[in-house]
Amino acid sequence: MIKTPEFQGTHLFDRLCWAKENLDGVQSDYRVVFEDSIDDCAKILVPDPNWMACALQGGILPPVWVYHELAKDEAQPDFKKHTRGYLLHQTEPVGAMTEEEAIEYLIMKDCPESVWKTYNEGNRPTMVICTKQQLPQTREWRNAWKISEELNIAA
Amino acid sequence: MAGKIIADTLEHSTSGSIGTNYLKEGTKCWLRYNQSTASVLGSFATSSVADTATGKYTPAFTNNMSSSTDFATSVTRQAVANFNHNVNYTESETSSNTLVFTVENATHVDGVNNHFSISGGVLA
């Protein structure tokens, strides 16, 4: 396995360029199904293979809290432009993750916080991790897809 | 051998010169996505794609843009036989993701070869 260069302080974009050049993409079978509005159909998060390769390799991606800090900045009413880009580039990159840890990271990065913080608190789950084989095999009635109310979620 | 070149200008032998800062505003993220199978065919600097509904998907960026307005998206997809008013557009843009729509004859449809890219200011 190729060794990741010492990347602390390297611009994230440059780290991603290195990864694109040196790592093979990893197609994950995992999918994250979530609902962030009662009026909308279920959404399905598909991990990017190049991103997954970075996560499994380690030493490339910033910790997920960095994205949360940037999201907080963007949520301010007077937000115009990010001023804390150094968080992405200067924070020590996270180490190698397992595929399951990478999916957890991805949920906290790309699913709405309101979903992953409370997905198991209502009458039925609003988020489920599954494999792509467990999803409907055709796109029929795609806009009516919902997470089953009969699904059992381990506490 | 690792190395570093510091230059403000690139000069062509006959076509003039251009500042290297144009690289700063070049393509920062791209994606080829088959929504029919919900699979990523190729990409750079995207972390995931959310299959949002028929003809709607949301690429998320690994490297945030500098703001929600400091970039432009380009969205195309494969040619479709007998189509009219084939439209692709984006909405709900933030510095970390954007919602993409693919429309054919005024109806949202899943594209099998969606192309998406972003040019502009990546967060420095």
Provide the 10 A C-beta neighbour count for residue A31: 20
In a domain, B92, yes or no: yes
User: How far apart are alpha carbons B108 and B101 in whole angstroms?
Assistant: 7
Q: How far is B27 from chain A (nearest CA, A)?
A: 11
Question: What's the domain range around B85?
Answer: 29-120
Does any domain span residue B19?
A: no
The dihedral of CA A26, A27, A31, A36: what is its sign?
Answer: positive
Q: Is residue B24 part of a domain?
A: no
Residue B23 belongs to some domain of the structure: no
Contact B104, B54 (CB under 8 A): no
Strand partners, B96: none
The reply to whether the predicted model has a pTM over 0.90 is no
Q: Is A65 in CB contact (< 8 Å) with chain B?
A: no
pLDDT, one tens digit per residue, over A110-139 is 999 999 999 888 888 999 999 999 999 999
Select from A69, A68, A35, A29 the least CA-distant residue to A52.
Answer: A29
Question: Domain total for chain B?
Answer: 1
> Which pLDDT value is given to residue B75?
82
Predicted local distance difference test score (pLDDT) of residue B93: 79
Tell me: pLDDT of B42 over 90. yes
Quote the mean pLDDT of chain B.
81
Q: What does the pLDDT average to over A93-117?
A: 97
* Residue B101 domain-assigned (yes or no): yes
Phi, psi dihedrals of residue A128, rounded to the nearest 5°: -145, 135
Indicate yes or no: CB of A44 within 8 angstroms of CB of B38: yes
> Domain extents for chain A?
12-144
- Cβ contact, residue pair B50, A45, below 8 Å: yes
Q: Which of A102, A112, A116, A115 is nearest to A29 (CA)?
A: A102
- A133 contacts: CB under 8 Å, gap ≥ 6: A29
pLDDT the model gives residue B124:
74
